Structure 1
Amino acid sequence: MSFNGHGKTAVITGASSGIGAATAVALAEAGFRLALGARRTQKLEQLAEELQQRTGQRPFIQALDVTSPNSSQHFIEEVVRELGHIHVLVNNAGLARGVTHIADADDKDEEDWREMMETNVMGLLRVTRLALPHMLKAGSGHVINLGSIAGREAYAGGSVYCATKFAVRAITEALRQELLGKPIRVTTIDPGMVETEFSIVRYHGDEAKANEVYAGMTPLTAEDIADCVLFVATRPAHVNIDAIIVKPVDQAGAGKVARRS
């Protein structure tokens, strides 16, 4: 089965690093025209240069803060103005902040909770709402949401992050029903442990703590998840992959990890 995206435009949020950047590489090499958004525009510029060298085609890039209605609307408007259509939306922007238990939380933790809710839930809803009319106008579309196994199994210290990913799964399943009969596919990809900047962000820049998360085991890579995105995005138009749950062999669930000394 061909992994061909020629003639299709894909939008990726949170594209400056990690899974977003790896997905940009995978889709660009498969022939998709890309629109990449993220808050870190310098990293977007670097990625655009790399993609141009790899494929001969430079993606459209623009600053995007999915927590901002104005930024999100301007981004989608510019994507359509530059590229004409949106066929695939990869809702990748998201983060985890902190591992504080609710009973031990303070005002700073509430700020972290708010950031996760605004980014992982409201940001995803906002960009999806803005992109869908253009997919319907194009006559085809695919919303691919980056979820997590944390959206299927909660764990102590992750109450709010897990809540946001449970929400992503609920939104994905409801959206698929709301769009029934229309030419729009809806997918969630739910990874387990993936070694990116995720844990560094979660531990507020503490790289030592972040490294401990993956000590003694082999986690997934950003490229592993990008492969999943490419697969679901290039199935025949009548095929919808509802969900992919993907974990490293060393992980059986949240907190269930085989580690070697």
Structure 2
Amino acid sequence: MRADTHDDASVRAAVAEVVAQLGGVDILVNTAAAPWKPGQRTSTIEVTDEQMREHFEVKALGYLRMARAAAPHMIDAGWGRIINVSGLGARHAGSAVQTVRNVAVSAITKNLADDLGQHGINVTVVHPGMTRTDAVADLVAERARAEGLSDDEMGARMAHNSIHRLVDASEVADVIAFLASPRSIAITGDAIAAGGGDPGVVAY
């Protein structure tokens, strides 16, 4: 089913169709985000209201709309998992839009976790760093050719993490799969970083 996360009615219609076809909703993984366009301003004093609204609408409010639509079905079942994919931009300055949208997702996650925990529903947030997707792999290859490096060497340079390589999208999915399982009962309301380690940063 397709839904426009800007539109609450569209979201509710899609969730209703899922329930009609599958009999309920057990797991919600929120991953939508407005794409980061080349040339977008990152300076806090230059960022526009429109830029901020677009990213907040799609990611933070979009995640909240999906959770509001799915949670009643999970409450009825007495079990559920909501995993919000955010980003390590929540822990770094350098782009006001990315920091604000990702911090907002963390705040929504914690509030949902406290509201829904009594109903057997865990809510967590996953913070990927730069992740090897098809688009990122193409970017790595392009930069590697330009600088006469191997893809692995360029990937390590671009990763800026403790393991000195890009984390693959499938490896982030492994973390999400655990959080979506019954074995994750002890984790709710918290953020799990999945970026290969942030050198020099102590997160507590």
The TM-score with structure 1 as length reference comes to: 0.61
Equivalent residue number for residue 247 of structure 1: 195
- Matches of 1:85 and 1:177 in 2, distance apart? 22
Aligned-partner Cα distance in 1 for 2:108–2:200 = 22
Note closer, same or farther for the CA distance 1:180–1:197 as it changes in structure 2 (3 Å cut): same
Q: 1:155 aligns with which of 88, 93, 104?
A: 93
- Give the structure 2 partner of residue 230 of structure 1: 177
**Contact persistence 2:5–2:66 (CA under 8 A):** yes
1:111 Cα shift? 3.0
67 and 184 in structure 1: CA distance in 2 versus 1, 3 angstrom threshold: same
Residue 124 (structure 2) pairs with residue 176 (structure 1): no
Cross-structure match for 1:204: none
Matches within 5 A, 1:114-193: 114-151=53-90, 153-156=91-94, 158-193=95-130
State whether residues 96 and 161 of structure 1, in contact with CA within 8 Å, keep that contact through their aligned partners in structure 2: no
Please, which runs of 5 or more residues in structure 1 have no aligned partner? 1-61, 201-206, 255-261
Establish whether residue 87 from structure 1 lines up as the match of residue 26 from structure 2. Answer: yes
1:195 maps to: 132
Structure 1 residues 211 and 90, CA, compared in 2 at 3 Å: closer, same or farther? farther
Q: Deviations over 1:75-97 (max 9, x none)?
A: 11110111111011111112353
The residue type equivalent to 1:248 in the other structure is G
Contact 1:193 1:248 survives alignment (8 Å): no
2: distance between equivalents of 1:245 and 1:125? Answer: 21
Instruction: Say whether residues 1:112 and 2:61 are aligned partners.
Output: no
In structure 2, C-alpha distance between the alignment counterparts of 1:211 and 1:187, rounded to whole Å: 34
Q: CA deviation at 1:171?
A: 1.0
Question: 1:197, CA displacement in angstroms?
Answer: 6.4
Maintained 8 Å contact 1:96/1:198: no
Change (3 A) 1:145 1:244: same
The 3-state SS of whatever aligns with 1:85 is: coil
8 A Cα contact 1:192 1:253, kept in partner = no
Q: Larger helix proportion, structure 1 or 2? A: 2
Contact 2:75 2:120 in 1 (8 A): yes
**What's the % identity of the aligned pairs?**
31
Secondary structure of 1:180 counterpart: helix
Distance 1:198 1:147, change over 3 A: farther
Deviations 1:1-20 (A, max 9, x none): xxxxxxxxxxxxxxxxxxxx
Q: Give the letter for the 1:186 counterpart.
A: V
The size of the alignment, in residue pairs, is: 181
Q: Shift in Å at residue 103 of structure 1?
A: 2.6
Amino acid paired to 1:216: R
What is the DSSP-based 3-state SS (H/G/I as helix, E as strand, rest coil) of the residue aligned with 1:244? Answer: strand
CA distance in 2, matches of 1:198, 1:175: 32
Cα distance, 1:253–1:87 mapped onto 2, change above 3 Å = farther
Asked whether the 8 Å contact 1:172–1:186 carries over to 2, the reply is yes
Alignment partners' CA distance in 2, 1:253 and 1:236: 31
User: Runs of 5+ in structure 2 lacking a partner?
Assistant: 145-153, 159-164
SS in 1 for 2:51: helix
- Please name the residue that 1:25 is paired with: none
Q: Distance in 1 between matches of 2:123 and 2:135?
A: 24
Q: Which residue of 1 aligns with 2:148?
A: none
